[in-house]
Amino acid sequence: MLLHVIVFIWGFSPILGRYITANVWQLVWFRILITIGVMFVYLKLTNHVLKISSKHFWQLSGIGLIIMLHWLAFYEAIKISNVSVTMVAFSTGTLFSAIIEPIFFKRRIRLYEVIIGNVIMLAIGVIFSIDTGYWWAVALGSFAAFTSSLFGVLNSIMARELRSGIISFYELSAAFLGLTVIVLLTGKFDKSFFVLDQASVLGLLVLSLVCTVFPFITSVDLSKYISPYTIVLTVNLETVYGIIWAILFFSENKEVQPSFYMGVFIILGAIFLNSYLRKLNDRKGEKIYSEEGTGNKV
C-alpha cells in the first residue's frame, strides 16, 4: 500500500517538470539542493549518525551520479516532448529490471520477463511509428528507465547495510556535487542560472518537498523488503498517473495520435500480465519448496 502511495506521488512529478519553466539544469540542481537541505535537517532531528566508511562513501557517490543522469534525462525528455511520451518511454524499465536484477542477485533470468519487456518495446515502436519527431525524447526516457532500474537494484543492496536516510542523503549530495561540476565546466553557472520565475520556485518547492524527500527515503527503505523488479513493476503505474494528470492539466490527449493510446493499452496489459505470471512463478516456487520440505521430513 505504501509503495502505491509513493508511486501516486511520483506520478505528479513529470507534471511539475513541464510546469516548471526553468531549464533542465536549473530544475535538477535546485531540486537536489532543496532536497538535501531538508534531508540534513531531518537526519539531525532524528539523531542519525552521518559518519560512514570510505567504501560506502564511494559506493553511494557512484549511485548518486547515476541518479543525477536519471533526472537529467527524464526531465530533458519532458522538456523536448511532453509528459505522455516520456512516461511511455519510461515504461521500458520493466525490461531493464528483468535483466539487471538477475545479474546483481545471481538468479536465473526469467524468459517471460524478457519477452514481456520486448512486447513493451514493440508497443513503443507502434506508438511512435507515425511521428518520428519524438525519437530523441524516447531515447532519453528509455535511458532514464535504465538508470532508474540500475540505481533501484543497487539501493536494494545498500539498504541491507545502511539506513535509508543516510543512503539518500549521501547519494543526492554526490548528485549535487557532480551536477555542480558539470554546470561549472559547461559555463552555465552565471547570474541567470539563479534567476527563477514564480512558477519555477513554486514548482521546485512542491517537487522537492512533496515528490522527493519522503518518497525517496521511503522507497529506499522498502527495497529491503520488496524486490527491485516488483518495485519497478509497480512504478510502471506512474505512467498511468502521469498520463492522466497530463490530460487533465495540459490536454495532452490533443497532442498525440490515436495509436499512442493503443500502444499504452498494450503496455499496461503487458505489465499486468507480468505481475500475474510473477505471482504464479512465486507460488510454484513455494509449492516446490513445501514438497521438498515434506520429503525431507519423511
Whether the per-residue pLDDT at 119 is higher than 70: the answer is yes
Please provide residue 273's backbone torsions phi and psi, each rounded to the nearest 5 degrees. -65, -40
Sequence-distant (6+) residues with CB within 8 A of 80 are: 136, 137, 140
pLDDT band at 127 (very low <50, low <70, confident <90, very high): low
Task: Report the alpha-carbon distance of residue 25 to residue 183 in Å, rounded.
Answer: 8
Model pLDDT, residue 290? 39
Q: Chain centroid to CA 211: how far?
A: 12
**In total, how many domains does the chain have?**
1
Residue 130 or 4, more confident? 4
> What pLDDT, in 10s, does the model give residues 172-207?
999 999 999 999 999 888 889 999 999 999 999 999
Amino acid at 136: W
The torsion of the CA quartet 227, 282, 87, 118, rounded to 10 degrees, works out to 120
- Segment 203-215 shows an average pLDDT of 91
Cβ burial, residue 157 (10 Å; 0-12/13-18/19+): middle
- Segment 159-175 shows an average pLDDT of 94
Weakest-pLDDT range from 91-105, 160-174, 259-273: 259-273
Q: Where are the alpha helices (DSSP H) in the chain?
A: 2-10, 13-19, 24-45, 54-80, 83-90, 93-105, 111-127, 135-158, 164-185, 198-208, 214-222, 228-235, 237-250, 258-297
CA distances from 209 to 40, 41, 177, 214, 215 (A): 13, 13, 20, 8, 10
Model pLDDT, residue 199? 93
pLDDT band at 297 (very low <50, low <70, confident <90, very high): very low
- Segment 22-33 shows an average pLDDT of 97
- Segment 14-40 shows an average pLDDT of 95
Task: Report the alpha-carbon distance of residue 15 to residue 121 in Å, rounded.
Answer: 24
Model pLDDT, residue 178? 97
Model pLDDT, residue 97? 82
Whether the per-residue pLDDT at 3 is higher than 80: the answer is no
> What pLDDT, in 10s, does the model give residues 222-274?
777 776 666 766 666 677 778 788 888 887 766 666 766 777 777 778 777 87
Weakest-pLDDT range from 129-133, 197-201, 241-245, 277-281: 129-133
Task: Report the alpha-carbon distance of residue 85 to residue 231 in Å, rounded.
Answer: 22
Whether the per-residue pLDDT at 53 is higher than 90: the answer is yes
Task: Report the alpha-carbon distance of residue 123 to residue 236 in Å, rounded.
Answer: 14
Model pLDDT, residue 281? 73
pLDDT band at 118 (very low <50, low <70, confident <90, very high): confident
Model pLDDT, residue 141? 92
97-100's contacts with Cβ under 8 Å and 24+ in sequence apart are 97/149, 97/152, 97/153, 97/228, 97/229, 97/232, 97/233, 98/229, 100/149, 100/150, 100/153, 100/228
Closest CA to 205 of 45, 30, 64: 30
Domain range for residue 114?
Answer: 2-297
